[in-house]
Amino acid sequence: MARCLIGCGSNQGARREQLDRAIELLGTMPGIRLEAVSRHRETRPIGGPPDQAPFLNGACLIDTDLAPHDLLGLLAAVENTLHRDRSERWGPRTVDLDLLLYDDTVIDDGDGAPLTVPHPRMTTRRFVLEPAVEIAPDLRHPLSGLTLRDLLDNISRPHLHVAVVGVAGAGAPAVAEAVADATLARHLHAEMTIPWEIADVAAWEAALAAAAGPQVDLEWPPDPHGTVSDHWLGELIVAAEEALAPEALRRFAALHEAATAAVMPAHVAVFLRLSPGALAGRPDGARLARHQDRLLARLRCRARAAAVAPPSVVVVAADDPSRAVDEAIAAVEATA
C-alpha cells in the first residue's frame, strides 16, 4: 500500500465538524486505512478573494491501494458530499482535501494538469507543513529529498531569502519587485545577463560578478519580512554547461563555486515557467526552452555542490504576468 499525506482545510460553515466528517468519510472508504490525524489550526486565508473567513487546517496520513488519480477522485467525492464549491479559485470552501504526497511518486504534467504530486505549493505553505510535521515529521518530499521537518525549518529561518527565477522574458525582475512590495521584504536586484555567444571565460566571470555583487558584504539580520531577489546564481552555471567548452567550463565552475559560497543562498525559489507556446514564438525559443528545462531540473536537484539549490521550489505559470504576480505573492505570504 502507498503511504499518502492529505491536507485538510475549511473556512465555511461549521469548520471543525466538516473537517472531522471529511476525515471520517475518508477513513471508511474501500482501499483506505487512516493512520494519523493532526490537530486543527486556525490560519489566515492566502490568496483568493478578500475578506474570507479564517481557515481551520490540518492533515491526515493514510495507507491506500488506490492509484494516484483514483485517490484524487475519491477526495473530490468526499468534498462533493460536503458541498464543496469550486466556482472560484482559492475561494471559500466547506472542505478542501489536497493530495500532498503519494509515497515517493512524482507526477508533473505541466500547468493546469488535474494532478501534480507532490503538491506544487506545499513546500512554502506553513499551514500545510505544521500539521504535516505533527503527524509525519520524517516523511520525505521526493523532489527536494528533505523531510517535512526540514522543509518547515527552512521557511522558519530568521531571515528568509526568496529568489524569483526565470529565463529571459519570464518577468523575474517585475515579479520580484511586486512580491517584495506586497510582503514588505527587502528587494535585491542584480543584472543577470548570460553571454550565450561568447566563449571567453572573462565575459562569463564579468556576468557572475554583476549578478553576485549586490549580495557581497550584505548583512542579513533577523527580519520577519526577509529578502526577495530577482535572480539565482545557479542560472549562470546551468547556461555555462550548455555554452562553454569543457576546459572553459571547468575554469568558470571554480569561479562560480567561490561566488556561490560568498553570498547568502536562497531558501525558497519561485520559478516562473513559460509555456511551450510562449517560447515557440521567439527567435531564441528553442534555446530558452532547453535552458528552462535544465534550470528547473537543477533547482530540484540538491546534489549539485556547485550550485546549491533552494530547499523549497514553487513553480508558477508565467504566461499571464498579473496571475504570476498573484501566485508568487501567495507563495511567499504562505511562509509566514
Could you check whether the bond before residue 30 is cis, i.e. omega within 30 degrees of 0? no
7-66 tens-digit pLDDT: 999 999 999 999 999 999 999 999 999 999 999 999 999 987 888 899 999 999 999 999
Q: Are 60 and 37 in contact (CB under 8 A)?
A: yes
**Residue 133: its pLDDT value, please?**
98
134 and 172 in a single domain? The answer is no
Task: Please check whether residues 193 and 125 belong to one and the same domain.
Answer: no
Mean pLDDT computed over 115-140: 97
CATH code (residue 150): 3.30.70.560
| 104 counts as catalytic | no
The residue from 84, 121, 126, 300 that is catalytic is 84
Which DSSP category does 48 fall into?
Answer: S
- 116 has pLDDT over 70: yes
Q: Are residues 231 and 281 located together in one domain of the fold?
A: yes
Query: Given 136, 154, 172, which residue is the final one in a domain?
Result: 154
Do 125 and 231 fall within a single domain? no
To the query of whether residue 200 is one of the catalytic residues in this protein, the response is no
Work out the mean pLDDT of the chain and round it to a whole number: 93
**220 in the same domain as 147:** no
Are 182 and 313 in a shared domain?
A: yes
Pair (149, 171) in one structural domain: no
Kindly state whether residues 220 and 325 are assigned to the same domain: yes
pLDDT class for 110, splitting at 50, 70, 90?
low
Residue among 96, 150, 230, 326 flagged as catalytic: 96
98 is catalytic: yes
Please say whether the beta carbons of 125 and 334 come within 8 A: yes
Indicate whether 305 pLDDT > 50.
no
Label each residue of 239-300 as H, E or C.
HHHHHCCHHHHHHHHHHHHHHHHCCCCCCEEEEEECCHHHHHCCCCHHHHHHHHHHHHHHHC
Asked if the model's pLDDT at residue 269 lies above 60, the reply is yes
Of 127, 52, 60, nearest to 93 by C-alpha is 52
233 lies in which domain range? 159-333
Across the range 95-122, mean pLDDT stands at 89
User: What angle in degrees, to the nearest 10, is found between the helix axes of 201-212 and 234-243?
Assistant: 170
280 and 196 in a common domain = yes
**Number of continuous H segments (helices) and E segments (strands) in the chain:** 11, 12
Choose one of 126, 154, 182: the last residue of a domain: 154
Mean pLDDT of the 236-253 span: 96
**Residue 306 pLDDT:** 43
Q: Are 120 and 166 in a shared domain?
A: no
- 140 and 165 share one domain: no
Structural domains of the chain, count: 2
In the set 15, 93, 125, 298, the catalytic residue is: 93
Q: What is the CATH number of the domain that holds 195?
A: 3.40.50.300
Tell me the average pLDDT across 175-201. 96
Q: Model pTM greater than 0.85?
A: yes
Look up 84 and say whether it is catalytic.
yes
Pairing between β-strand 312-317 and β-strand 268-273 as defined by DSSP bridges: parallel
> Which of 154, 171, 192 lies at the terminal end of a domain, its last residue?
154
Of the candidates 20, 98, 108, 153, the residue annotated as catalytic is 98
Q: Report residue 90's pLDDT band, with 50, 70 and 90 as the boundaries.
A: low
What is the CB neighbour count within 10 angstroms for residue 94?
Answer: 21
Residues 191 and 139 in one domain: no
